[in-house]
């Protein structure tokens, strides 16, 4: 066959350009849904949220199959997990401040907020460790233990990831890179933290309260 | 083109306010760095033109030479090309394992292949075709073509895209190396418990299968998110929702299906490997677990998977039909809505894979109805394509031949699918060769035939050379006849009661002749692929040189050079029509003002496609490759000790930090 165009009207080679718009004055980054990375973060939240939904679905499937719940173990303790939940809810305000001060491009306050968020994150990981000691069941005990530890493990992985991410970003903001588009990254990091908190609340109710009601 | 577009069919270039938002980057009242004027020292593409502009941009967007450069590349075309070639190699490997099975089944009581090897072969065949070919091939084409078709210079998140490729590659290599070491999985491509559980499958075979799932799903999700954001935010100015090419719509819907379906199979395979390695009891009925939970999770992914394989193919078909019919798609809106409807409905069918597990009758009725329902949007698509061809002046080149073949084979597979949606019939033929025939008609008809057409169609864009049309026609007829001779008799062998996944059968069963015919067909089908491979290699070396737009097509990838330069377009196009190159035959409307020295590209708004930002695209980096290596060490290590997840996370975290840490003070990407 030949490579020739079947239409003689179209010139061979590339079309000449006709400039109809100039992008010189357009901004070089922005915040929230105007920024591609915000959509990427939302995409990962959707994927991971789907993972949580399926794990929760599996939890209730096992409840339905077994009838009695929890299986041969008392319901997990409320003290550390509730403390953890309260601190998570409390972190929403400094997280909001970090996002807002990022949008205002106020470096001094962003540094302060990220240090606070890093410290809260480390404290939450500490509380989570205490919490894991009071589940009264191990993953290899029975299917109830397996699904409880799966939910806790999934959420802890998210918690750990965002805490590390927050610490790295906090360090970054103290270096010469702490300007410009990094402020937008602060907002996306805060957005992901909202997801970590929002995904914990139903899991907290399901793991710690549901067995007491069933 | 047989008819010129008239002025009412496309807008003239709209006024600037419809093309750009003109909004500030910073929030109201904030003096933002985003709004700082560009440096006057930086060369911009409104100051330079012609070959000099091309050469300078190619340098800015190019990939370094050498091994480190090759592993650091973030060019979507290079990654996309690797993705396509790798997926096709896996297609060949999966095909070879099928040929081996067909040779074994050619006659009763054959001793060619042992039962154990046969179990591994059908598992590797299904696993490879579904996870290493079926999902990745659609995404691979998206990686290469979506940025070009929406007029972008690179995919959104190009480093994530590079990472995805290496993870996919390493996962595929892992499972095939395991197979060659005689530790290949042997429990079928869906690895049902209890067979795949710790009690009935000791050893590491199933663990390799489960971790291969993790690899490929991580890779698949990463690409899906990159594609979604590319389509949402990287479209050329003026590309409103109703000007998005149908191929791009198909890949967008496909990416959404991937985002919501793949977590289910990751959950299933993670629970399976936990049951096997750390003693959890998700699927152990003795300790409160349940085997059917696995099937629900698996098929909640597994049925959308069929559409993950099919949806990109609808995109190939739409592109080929429009180009060779020489008219715009008939029923564009109906086609797009059908794609979206198929995406949603695909999540409501999974239980029809489980009709023989003893479902409540209401459940069975519901899933029968939903299985029949999905035939409606698929039927609409077929009718729209036929109407497009009917009203156009079709040119029967090889790509269109494969599309015609797709119509016949896929519709036949759809008809047996409607039969299988009914519970009594499904119960009779469950796990027989009738089902094997059905899903090969659907999958090969629905994916492989359009794929072969797509390769002939886009080969000139990928390589700058045309494939041989004469060999292509031979290829088509050999493939079409070979396919039908192989798979049509399987309907009958299945109705005669031959179960799938048996390594041999007795002569008294009377299945010998039909099986021999299927094997002869398989040899013909195999020969068609040999011819195809020869055509690819010889055409890549000696084929006629292709112009930028050899088929006189209308979408933007044909406005780039063949093969495209690293920057794709010297200036970002402005879109005024669904088929921009048919609307603008003399000159291409473009945006100017982007940097020539830095990787700047246009970020636009989601619905109206208005230019909004000029954002930087990431530079090449070795870190995505190193992150993929660290990921591989962690995943493979976890097959042998759960502690691998703990110590493996340290190099993984370090590699991720290297990835995200900015390299220079001017670099703006994350």
Across the A/B interface, how many CB contacts are shorter than 8 Å? 283
Tokens of A80: 């550390």
Tokens of B95: 């095909």
How far, in Å, CA of B438 to CA of A175, rounded? 61
Q: Is B107 helix (H, G, I), strand (E, B) or coil?
A: coil
CA-closest candidate to residue B596, choices B43, B51, B39, B154: B43
Of residues B267, B290, B549, nearest to A51 (C-beta): B267
Is A120 inside any structural domain? Answer: yes
CA-CA distances (angstroms) from residue A86 to A47, A83, A147, A162, A190?
26, 5, 24, 18, 18
Of residues A3, A22, A183, nearest to B544 (C-beta): A3
Tokens of B308: 């993950």
How far, in Å, CA of B221 to CA of B231, rounded? 15
Is A41 inside any structural domain? Answer: yes
pLDDT value, residue A79 = 96
Q: Is the pLDDT of residue A3 over 50?
A: no
Tokens of B498: 């031959």
| Cα–Cα–Cα angle for B205, B211, B214, rounded to 5 degrees | 155
Residues paired with residue B87 on neighbouring β-strands, in sequence order: none
- Residues of chain B scoring pLDDT < 70: 1-16, 664-670
Cis status of the peptide bond prior to B398, with omega within 30 of 0: no
pLDDT value, residue A6 = 39
How far, in Å, CA of B285 to CA of B269, rounded? 18
CA-closest candidate to residue B374, choices B434, B314, B414: B414
Is A22 inside any structural domain? Answer: no
Q: Is B561 helix (H, G, I), strand (E, B) or coil?
A: coil
**Is B547 within 8 Å of chain A by CB?**
yes
Using the CB atoms, write b or e for B284-323: b if 16+ within 10 Å. Answer: beebbbbbbbbbbbbbbbbbbbbbbbbbbbbbbbbbbbbb
CA-closest candidate to residue B101, choices B78, B118, B120, B84: B118
Contacts of A64 in chain B (CB under 8 A): none
How far, in Å, CA of A157 to CA of A150, rounded? 11
Is A24 inside any structural domain? Answer: no
| pLDDT mean over A37-50 | 96
Is A10 inside any structural domain? Answer: no
Cβ pair B362, B356 in contact under 8 A: no
How far, in Å, CA of B575 to CA of B594, rounded? 17
Query: Closest-CA residue in chain B for A167?
Result: B657
pLDDT value, residue B664 = 61
Query: Closest-CA residue in chain B for A55?
Result: B267
> What is the phi-psi region of residue A29: left when phi exceeds 0, alpha when psi lies from -120 to 50, beta otherwise?
beta
In A, residues 130-189, which contact B (CB 8 Å cutoff)? 139-147, 149-150, 164, 168, 172, 176-177, 179-183, 185
**Is A69 within 8 Å of chain B by CB?**
no
Cβ pair B164, B219 in contact under 8 A: yes
**Is A26 within 8 Å of chain B by CB?**
yes
Q: Is the pLDDT of residue A2 over 90?
A: no
Is A162 inside any structural domain? Answer: yes
φ, ψ for residue B73, nearest 5 deg:
-60, 145
pLDDT digits (tens, 9 = 90+) for B501-539: 999 999 999 999 999 999 999 999 999 999 999 999 999
Cβ pair B276, A64 in contact under 8 A: no
Tokens of A174: 């103290």
Of residues B469, B560, B587, nearest to A18 (C-beta): B587
Cβ pair B257, B308 in contact under 8 A: yes
**Is A105 within 8 Å of chain B by CB?**
yes
Q: Is the pLDDT of residue A135 over 50?
A: yes
Contacts of A20 in chain B (CB under 8 A): 13, 16, 19, 574, 589-591
Q: How many domains does chain A have?
A: 1
Tell how strand B588-592 and strand B600-604 pair up.
Answer: unpaired
Kindly report the pTM of this predicted structure. Answer: 0.95
How far, in Å, CA of B312 to CA of B220, rounded? 14
Find how far residue B183's CA is from the centre of its chain: 28
Cβ pair B59, B595 in contact under 8 A: no
Is A182 inside any structural domain? Answer: yes
Cβ pair B162, B624 in contact under 8 A: yes
Q: Do B262 and A47 count as a contact with CB atoms less than 8 A apart?
A: yes
How far, in Å, CA of A6 to CA of B82, rounded? 31
pLDDT value, residue B122 = 97
Of residues B34, B278, B279, nearest to A28 (C-beta): B34
Helix residue ranges per DSSP H, B63-204? 66-72, 76-105, 115-127, 135-149, 158-180
Find how far residue B283's CA is from the centre of its chain: 31
Contacts of B561 in chain A (CB under 8 A): 14
Cβ pair B433, B512 in contact under 8 A: no
The half-sphere exposure of A124 on its side-chain side, counting CA atoms within 13 A, is 28
- For A110, the domain range is 34-68+77-213
Query: Closest-CA residue in chain B for A179?
Result: B33
How crowded is residue B622: how many other Cβ atoms within 10 Å of its Cβ?
16
CA-CA distances (angstroms) from residue A141 to A56, A137, B273, B281, B514?
19, 7, 16, 8, 51
Reported in sequence order, the residue ranges of B527-592 that DSSP labels E, i.e. its strands, are 588-592
Rg (CA), chain B: 26
DSSP for B259-311, written as a single string: HHHHHHHHHHHHHHHHHHHT---TT-GGGT--HHHHHHHHHHHHHHHHHHHHH
SS3 breakdown of chain B: % helix, strand, coil, rounded to 5?
Answer: 65, 5, 30
- Cβ neighbours for B591, distance < 8 A, ≥ 6 positions apart: A19, A20, A21, A22, A23, B236, B237, B571, B572, B573, B574, B602, B611
- Cβ neighbours for B98, distance < 8 A, ≥ 6 positions apart: B125, B522
The half-sphere exposure of A167 on its side-chain side, counting CA atoms within 13 A, is 13
SS3 breakdown of chain A: % helix, strand, coil, rounded to 5?
Answer: 70, 5, 30
| pLDDT mean over A139-168 | 96
The half-sphere exposure of B5 on its side-chain side, counting CA atoms within 13 A, is 20
Q: Å from B258 to nearest chain A CA?
A: 9
Query: Closest-CA residue in chain B for A12?
Result: B547
| Cα–Cα–Cα angle for B489, B492, B497, rounded to 5 degrees | 130
Q: Domain holding A96: CATH number?
A: 1.20.120.80
pLDDT value, residue B662 = 85
Is A6 inside any structural domain? Answer: no
Q: Do A28 and B589 count as a contact with CB atoms less than 8 A apart?
A: no
């Amino acid at each position: 066959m030949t490579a020739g165009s079947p239409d003689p009207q179209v010139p061979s080679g590339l079309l000449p350009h006709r400039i109809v718009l100039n992008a010189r004055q357009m901004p070089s980054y922005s915040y929230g849904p105007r920024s591609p990375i915000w959509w990427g973060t939302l995409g990962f939240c959707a994927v991971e949220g789907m993972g949580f939904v399926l794990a929760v679905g599996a939890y209730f499937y096992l409840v339905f199959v077994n009838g009695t719940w929890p299986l041969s173990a008392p319901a997990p303790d409320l003290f550390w997990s509730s403390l953890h939940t309260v601190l998570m809810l409390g972190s929403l305000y400094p997280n909001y401040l970090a996002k807002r001060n990022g949008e205002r491009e106020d470096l001094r306050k962003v540094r302060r907020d990220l240090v606070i968020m890093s410290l809260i994150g480390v404290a939450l990981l500490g509380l989570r460790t205490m919490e894991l000691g009071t589940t009264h069941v191990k993953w290899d005990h029975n299917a109830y233990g397996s699904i409880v530890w799966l939910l806790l493990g999934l959420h802890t992985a998210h918690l750990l990831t965002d805490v590390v991410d927050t610490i790295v970003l906090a360090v970054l903001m103290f270096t010469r890179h702490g300007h410009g588009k990094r402020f937008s990254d602060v907002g996306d990091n805060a957005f992901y933290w909202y997801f970590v908190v929002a995904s914990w609340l139903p899991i907290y109710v399901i793991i710690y309260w549901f067995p007491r009601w069933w | 083109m047989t008819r010129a577009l008239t002025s009412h069919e496309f807008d003239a270039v709209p006024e600037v306010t419809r093309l750009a938002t003109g909004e500030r980057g910073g929030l109201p009242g904030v003096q933002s760095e985003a709004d700082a004027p560009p440096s006057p020292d930086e060369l911009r593409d409104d100051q330079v033109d012609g070959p000099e502009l091309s050469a300078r941009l190619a340098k800015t967007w190019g990939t370094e030479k050498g091994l480190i450069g090759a592993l650091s590349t973030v060019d979507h075309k290079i990654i996309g090309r690797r993705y396509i070639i790798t997926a096709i190699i896996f297609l060949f490997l999966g095909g070879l394992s099928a040929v081996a099975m067909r040779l074994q089944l050619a006659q009763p009581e054959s001793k060619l292949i042992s039962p154990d090897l046969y179990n591994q072969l059908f598992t590797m065949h299904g696993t490879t075709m579904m996870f290493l070919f079926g999902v990745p091939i659609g995404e691979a084409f998206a990686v290469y073509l979506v940025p070009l078709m929406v007029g972008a210079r690179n995919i959104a998140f190009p480093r994530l895209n590079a990472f995805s490729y290496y993870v996919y590659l390493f996962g595929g290599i892992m499972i095939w190396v395991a197979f060659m070491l005689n530790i290949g999985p042997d429990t079928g491509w869906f690895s049902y418990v209890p067979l795949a559980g710790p009690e009935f499958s000791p050893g590491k075979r199933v663990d390799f299968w489960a971790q291969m799932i993790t690899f490929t799903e991580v890779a698949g999700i990463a690409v899906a998110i990159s594609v979604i954001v590319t389509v949402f935010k990287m479209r050329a100015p003026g590309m409103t929702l109703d000007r998005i090419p149908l191929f791009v719509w198909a890949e967008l819907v496909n990416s959404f299906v991937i985002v919501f379906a793949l977590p289910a199979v990751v959950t299933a395979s993670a629970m399976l490997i936990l049951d096997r390695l750390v003693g959890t009891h998700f699927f152990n009925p003795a300790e409160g677990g349940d085997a059917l939970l696995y099937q629900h999770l698996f098929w909640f992914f597994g049925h959308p998977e069929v559409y993950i394989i099919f949806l990109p193919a609808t995109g190939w078909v739409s592109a080929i039909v429009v180009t060779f019919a020489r008219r715009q798609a008939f029923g564009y809106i109906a086609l797009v809505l059908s794609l979206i409807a198929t995406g949603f409905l695909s999540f409501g069918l999974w239980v029809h894979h489980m009709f023989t597990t003893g479902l409540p009758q209401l459940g069975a009725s519901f899933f029968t109805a939903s299985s029949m329902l999905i035939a409606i949007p698929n039927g609409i698509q077929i009718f729209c394509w036929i109407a497009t061809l009917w009203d156009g002046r079709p040119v029967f080149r090889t790509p269109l031949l494969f599309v015609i073949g797709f119509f016949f084979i896929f519709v036949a597979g759809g008809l047996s699918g409607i039969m299988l949606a009914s519970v009594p019939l499904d119960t009779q033929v469950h796990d027989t060769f009738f089902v094997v025939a059905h899903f090969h008609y659907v999958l090969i008809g629905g994916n492989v035939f359009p794929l072969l057409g797509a390769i002939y169609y886009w080969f000139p864009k990928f390589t700058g050379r045309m494939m041989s049309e004469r060999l292509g026609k031979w290829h088509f007829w050999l493939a079409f006849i070979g396919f039908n001779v192989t798979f049509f008799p399987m309907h009958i062998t299945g109705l005669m009661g031959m179960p799938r996944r048996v390594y041999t059968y007795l002569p008294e069963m009377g299945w010998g002749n039909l099986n021999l015919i299927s094997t002869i067909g398989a040899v013909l089908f195999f020969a068609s692929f040999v011819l195809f491979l020869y055509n690819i290699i010889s055409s890549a070396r000696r084929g006629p040189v292709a112009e930028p737009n050899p088929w006189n097509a209308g979408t933007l990838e044909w406005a780039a050079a063949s093969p495209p330069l690293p920057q794709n377009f010297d200036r970002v196009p402005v879109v005024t029509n669904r088929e921009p190159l048919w609307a603008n035959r003399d000159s291409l409307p473009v945006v100017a003002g982007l940097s020539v020295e830095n990787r700047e590209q246009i970020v636009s708004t989601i619905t109206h496609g208005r230019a909004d930002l000029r954002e930087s695209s990431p530079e090449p980096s070795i870190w995505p490759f190193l992150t993929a290596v660290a990921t591989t060490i962690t995943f493979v290590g976890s097959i042998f000790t759960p502690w691998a997840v703990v110590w493996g996370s340290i190099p993984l975290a370090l590699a991720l930090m290297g990835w995200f840490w900015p390299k220079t003070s001017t670099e703006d990407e994350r």
